[in-house]
Amino acid sequence: MPTPQHNRCFRLRRRPDGRVTGANLELVEEPIPELADGQALVRTLYLSLDPSNRIWMSEMRSYMPPVPLDAVMRGLGVGQVVASRRKDFPVGSLVLGWTGFQDYAVMDDATDEGPYTRLPEPLPAPLTMFLGALGHTGITAYLGMIDIGRPEPGDTVVVSAAAGAVGSIAGQLAKARGARTVGLAGGAAKCAHVVGKLGFDVCVDYKAADWRQQLAAAVPDGVDVNFENVGGVIMDEVLLHLNIGARVALCGMISQYESADATSSWAGQLSIGQLIMRRASMTGFLVLDHADRFPEAIEHLAGLLGDGRLQSDENVVDGLENAIDCLNGLFDGSNTGKQLLRVGEADAG
């Protein structure tokens, strides 16, 4: 394969307010620069689309700096080295790293968001799983549920966005530990999926008019663990059911991210005082802090996948050019499972 000459990339032109449009992320075609010593060229194969993408586009105080205006949009991907001037990443290597929203990324340790990781050969699992159940997504669910939620057999565990990438795994991890799992998802079809395929005991449809009553009926013994991905009114309602000593693993607050630039319009949390009343704790966490725990998490997750006790949901959309719709799908509730964008095809070498 000749070295590619042109790269399509999304550049952040304007910070979004609400849904993302082409005015925010512009798809442009640019020449690929010649590689310098120590660089390699990575063909993006799959891109992970996550609620956090939306945070990085805003000026919200986050765990990473905002993507600078006019920079290529930040994104985590798996890719393949197609040209290389470094020995540790020969052509053909499969890699995990911050490829960004683009066809080709120049890997450069001096400027990248973080180091690339070379994936094992032969691959022990499908490539997409390194962004999903065996990647940051699965490890996030593992750390939040095992370290912070700490469900005991018989505990009631409530997971919001239970049909989503992290929530679906978090609930299954709790179930595998003997907890009673209650999901929250939007719409009857998603709820049926959460119970039928993912094995939650109950799923509450938060789009139903009587969802508060549904939730109350689903947790007659209260809530011991809340694995929270949504925030807003959903979290507020769950907090009203906390048991004494309950643990809230605060993984995400997707309901807030679209107004991250306009704090005055946020729907503030009304029930935080329940943490006092129920002597409960709420703990935020971030997968990126815990690289030392990745092997343990991956072993655990791979074991459950092998046993058939963990179902891995992936939703793959084709084509870099569809990134914006695909990202917005995380916020309008149309997505189920891990949202991936297929950007390129691996070269079988």
Q: What does the binding site for its own copies look like in residue numbers (CB under 8 A)?
A: 60-63, 231, 240, 250-253, 256, 263, 266-270, 272-286, 289
In terms of CB distance, is 79 or 149 closer to its own copies? 149
Any long-range contacts for 331-337 (C-beta under 8 Å, 24+ apart)? Answer: 331/19, 331/51, 331/54, 331/254, 331/257, 331/258, 332/19, 333/186, 333/187, 333/207, 335/164, 336/163, 336/164, 336/190, 336/193, 337/132, 337/163, 337/164, 337/165, 337/168, 337/312, 337/313
**CB of 231: closest distance to its own copies in angstroms?**
7
Q: Are 224 and 155 in contact (CB under 8 A)?
A: yes
Shortest spacing between CB 268 and its own copies, in angstroms: 2
The distance of closest approach from Cβ of residue 63 to its own copies in the complex, given in angstroms and rounded to an integer, is 5
User: Could you report how far apart the first and last alpha carbons of the chain are, in Å?
Assistant: 10
- Specify the residue, 231 or 344, whose C-beta has the smaller distance to its own copies: 231
3 state DSSP class of 164:
strand
171 or 252: CB nearest its own copies: 252
Q: What is the DSSP string of 41-54?
A: EEEEEEEE--HHHH
Three-state secondary structure of 69-99: CCCECCCEEEEEEEEECCCCCCCCCEEEECC
Least distance CB 269 / its own copies (angstroms): 5
Measured from the CB atom, the residue of 71 and 277 that comes closer to its own copies is 277
Q: How far is the CB of 190 from its own copies (least distance, A)?
A: 24
The residue (of 78 and 246) whose beta carbon lies closer to its own copies is 246
Nearer to its own copies, 285 or 294 (CB): 285
Query: Cα(193)–Cα(94) distance, rounded to whole angstroms?
Result: 33
Question: Closer to its own copies at the Cβ: 129 or 254?
Answer: 254
> Shortest distance, CB of residue 211 to its own copies, whole angstroms?
17
CA 319 to chain centre: 19
* Count of alpha carbons within 13 angstroms of residue 104, beta-carbon side: 21
Minimum distance between the CB of residue 339 and its own copies, rounded to whole angstroms? 20
Nearer to its own copies, 11 or 278 (CB): 278
> Alpha helix (H) ranges present in 114-253?
136-142, 165-176, 188-196, 211-218, 232-239
CB of 61 to its own copies, least distance (A): 6
Smaller CB separation from its own copies, 81 or 234? 234
Q: How far is the CB of 112 from its own copies (least distance, A)?
A: 22
Q: How many CB atoms lie within 10 A of CB 268?
A: 9
Q: How far is the CB of 236 from its own copies (least distance, A)?
A: 8
- Pull the structure tokens for residue 133: 């159940």
From CA 176, how far away is CA 153, in angstroms rounded? Answer: 9
CA 224, 254, 162, 114 torsion: positive or negative? negative
Q: In whole angstroms, what is the distance from residue 74 CA to residue 54 CA? A: 10
Of 94 and 250, CB closest to its own copies? 250
